[in-house]
Chains A and B, each alone.
Chain A
């Protein structure tokens, strides 16, 4: 199956700093990737759609200047949490769609647990 690799898996940063999270499709190309956030015991919430070679599409309520997304190649999307604050502490996870014969399956990265102190 397709593999999506996300890095880092865990990061602790100081309030006010920026953190970059990488999402790579290792054995397939992904013109679109998705970024989700999950708070403890809550559902995954779609933050934005990352589009290769063009601007990301953000969901309602997600600040695009706060969560910068870059999708510069067909295998890499990055999410940068700028000027992080404790309330940004969460589990961030990316996914990429992979077309199979009967349906398209979403493959997920391993997730990044961000703690802002």
Chain B
């Protein structure tokens, strides 16, 4: 079983749509969780960290369920500029070794 699993997509949605990405992780000792965004042929960049209480940043909402080892990202009012690959990332702690999911590709069209 992969350490971090995501639905690879692609998700093709119209502008203004709401889209949700899910992610599961296998290591119950995982300490922190993130969503990164990666544009084509670029390095990943942090979108947001994910807290147990859930957190929101503008149109983006992240949730964590430690009991189910499940992380989600909700994007509301999708923009064309949201088109990218969204990576679910788990930090196993210690030396901050990040484990990446395969990524979910989002394509927002007019």
Contact = CB atoms under 8 A, between A and B. Distances in A.
Interface in B80-110: 87, 89, 91, 95-103
B100 A43 contact: yes
- Interface majority SS on A: helix, strand, loop or mixed? strand
Interface residues of B, number: 20
B44 interface: yes
Q: Pick the most buried of B46, B95, B96, B99: most chain A CB atoms within 10 A of its CB.
A: B96
Nearest to A103: B49
A44 B32 contact: no
B46 A46 contact: no
Given A43-B87, A44-B87, A106 B99 contact: no
Given A43-B100, A43-B102, A93 B87 contact: no
A105 interface: yes
B59 interface: no
A104 interface: yes
A97 B91 CA distance: 11
Given A103-B49, A106-B46, A49 B103 contact: no
Interface stretch (A65-73, A80-88, A108-116): A108-116
Nearest to B96: A97
A77 interface: no
Contacts of A106: 46, 89, 96, 98
Contacts of A43: 87, 100-103
B100 A44 contact: yes
Interface of B: 32, 41-46, 49, 87, 89, 91, 95-103
Interface of A: 32, 34, 36, 42-46, 49, 91, 93, 95, 97, 102-106, 108-111, 113
The 6 A-B residue pairs whose C-beta atoms are closest, nearest first, are: A97-B96, A108-B43, A43-B102, A44-B100, A103-B49, A104-B96
Given A34-B98, A111-B42, A113-B41, 7 more contacts: A32-B96, A34-B97, A43-B102, A43-B103, A91-B41, A95-B98, A106-B89
